[in-house]
Chains A and B, each alone.
Chain A
Amino acid sequence: MPAWSDFEPFIVSGLALGGVYALSGVGLVVLYRATGVLYLAFGAVGAMGALIAWSLTQAGTPGWVSWLVCVAFAAAVTLAYGTVFGPALAGRDPLVKAVATIGLTLVLYGAMDLLWTTSGGEARSLTLPTDNSGFSVGQILVNWTQVIALAAGVVITVATGAFLRYTKLGTAMRAMANDRVITATLGVPVRRVEAAAWLGCGVLAGIAGLLLADLVALDATTLTFLVISSLAAVLIARLRSIALAFAAAIAIGLIHDLLTPITSLTNYRDMTPFVLAAIALLVLSRRRVMTQSREEA
């Protein structure tokens, strides 16, 4: 068993990773509740945004412009997908809606591999200026990107919670999560509210893509399928509660990174999200009620 001091740096990196997972989780939950779509292309749009930002930076564009372009790209693609395919698939099973976003994922993934060839090229990296400065808590060095990642997770969770609770648009989204048809009957502009949810989710995807490109790696495959890990947090929250998704995301990030110094488990640390999600799903589904309604599980 390693000494406590070996774990300390991983607390910081774990919290940072958890923060980004939380950010992704909130985006996924809000979109799922408002539109019924589990957006599996969340990682892919963020990854492509990050790669575009990298190309722009290489071409000499100032950093903040390229970051904005990244977020704008992710938001635009997400909104476009939601506008085109959202209504077309609105009446279908949640599973069909989720699988359709795999289509978008594959299109983006193929395009990324084509435009930013991975073979033979040297590893790309997207560094934010906040990487190089930081402070230390005791023995642990903390850089500002890690602080931003955790802070973004906290701020987005709290802000989204408040938005859903106190604004008119947020109330409309919560109403749609309960029942689309009744909400539409009450005069809520369903399409417009859905578009807002898609846009918000896209913005979060862009931010998550930027942060993950810096914290993990700027690699199309890694970033695209990192959404699977974020999904774990969302699943633990049963696609419902953003507070629970936040807690689960932080737990996953922390446990994942804290397993790193333990030699016997370090190879298995990538299993953390999957194992936690599987256990949570199985425990939570013990009391299953079979219904004919559209609301699943």
Chain B
Amino acid sequence: MRRRVAVARRPAIIAVLLLFALFGLPALLSLYYIDALTQVAVYSMVAAALGVLAGRVGLISLGQVAVLAVGAWVAARLLFATTQPYPVILVEAGLITMVAGMLIGLPALRLRGLYLALITLMLAGAITVILASLNFPNGGHGFSGYNGALVNIPPIRRPSIASGDPAYYRYSVIIAAIMFLLVLAHIRTRPGRAWAAIRQSEPAALAAGINTTLYKLWALALASFITGVAGGVLAGAVHYLYSIDFPTQNSIILLAVVLMGGVYSLWGAVVAAVLYQFLPALLQNWGVSADWLTILFGIGVLQVLTTAPAGLADQVPKDLAKLGRLLLRLTRRPQPAEPAAAVPTETSGVSGGGGAA
């Protein structure tokens, strides 16, 4: 009963949070933090895409930052080459990245588990080398659009309705929200069920008549599309793109952070993006080295993999609920029925988070 009420209330809570993110946060924070939050919006999309692959289908990608770089490259090239409206460019960047991701991914999907993860890492390494040599477009001519002279480099444009930083932040939050809805629409319908079956056991899914290749490719296409769109948003956010901003190891760190945030829920993607982009900005402002964060991420991965497969997004509310029950029990001492009531929720939580990350 309580659960049903919570489900009914959830869209309202999300709407309030979204409105607060759109109008409350920009009013409260300085430009420095608003820029960091734009990055959070971008990386929450990347994390959601990685969550689809890792959490829903069970395909671990160690090359998502390289896909983001491809999306950013395509978007930047189109933004310099054409005068199309920004949303059109975003869709185009997403679609081109999707095609690229599928072309690379189709042969890779023959592999499973560890081998698939490692081949994505190898492909990410290759893409990084190509981009380092090709350079990001900066208003030059030709296919690469790179002007080696490095004088009078025009910034990558933003949409006319969102040229300022707070406006662009709102713009990116809305794009991220649309992408989250896209993911949700997939999870709730046929592909989501097929993905769940594949994650549990690919041979069983095959035996049940699920076209595993189609649905795996579908997941890859969706993830590449979302990451491509995120790349387009990133291009406008930073104005200037450089290949050194997308090193291969960032894909590894991103996977670690996404696993920490939690791959089984979309909240996990937001948590991961905050960990990955907002905390470093916060620490930098406080004068604390971001290296502490890297260490924390490392410990977080080990902790998540050994004890909490569903990540922080799942674990923290559960721990808070446990803490709440504990406090309740301490304040109302003579209540022997309380611990017994706590047991069923705990066991259901364990079985819910039992899937392999």
Contact = CB atoms under 8 A, between A and B. Distances in A.
Interface of A: 38, 40, 85, 88-89, 92-96, 98-100, 102-111, 113-114, 221, 224-225, 228, 231-232, 235, 267-268, 270-271, 273-275, 277-278, 281-282, 285-286, 288, 290-292, 296-297
B167 interface: no
The DSSP consensus for interface residues of chain B is helix
Contacts of A40: 252
Nearest to B201: A292
Given A89-B305, A221-B247, 18 more contacts: A40-B252, A100-B306, A106-B256, A107-B295, A110-B292, A228-B121, A235-B119, A270-B125, A270-B129, A271-B125, A271-B129, A278-B123, A278-B126, A281-B115, A285-B115, A286-B110, A292-B201, A297-B111
A275 B292 contact: no
Interface residues of B, number: 50
A105 B133 CA distance: 28
B64 to A, nearest CB: 14
A231 B121 contact: yes
16 contacts: A96-B357, A100-B302, A100-B306, A106-B294, A108-B298, A114-B289, A221-B249, A225-B248, A228-B122, A231-B122, A235-B122, A270-B129, A271-B129, A278-B122, A281-B119, A282-B108
A95 to B, nearest CB: 5
Contact of B295 (A99, A111, A267): A111
Contacts of B118: 38, 231, 235, 277, 281
A41 B216 CA distance: 30
The DSSP consensus for interface residues of chain A is helix
B117 interface: yes
A296 B115 contact: yes
B255 A297 contact: no
Interface in B47-78: 60
Contact of B122 (A96, A106, A232): A232
Nearest to A112: B291
Contact of A106 (B115, B121, B206, B297): B297
Contact of A228 (B112, B125, B292, B300): B125
B182 interface: no
Interface string B291-325: 11111111111100110000000000000000000
Contacts of B132: 267
A38 B114 contact: yes
A234 to B, nearest CB: 9
Closest 10 CB pairs of A and B: A106-B298, A110-B294, A107-B298, A103-B301, A110-B295, A103-B302, A267-B133, A114-B291, A274-B126, A274-B125
Given A113-B294, A282-B108, A268 B133 contact: yes
B114 A296 contact: yes
A117 B31 CA distance: 29
Interface in B157-213: 201-203, 206
Contacts of B206: 290
Contacts of B253: 106
Contacts of B29: none
Given A110-B293, A225-B249, A271-B129, A92 B356 contact: yes
A228 B250 CA distance: 13
Contacts of B87: none
B301 A106 contact: yes
A292 B204 CA distance: 9
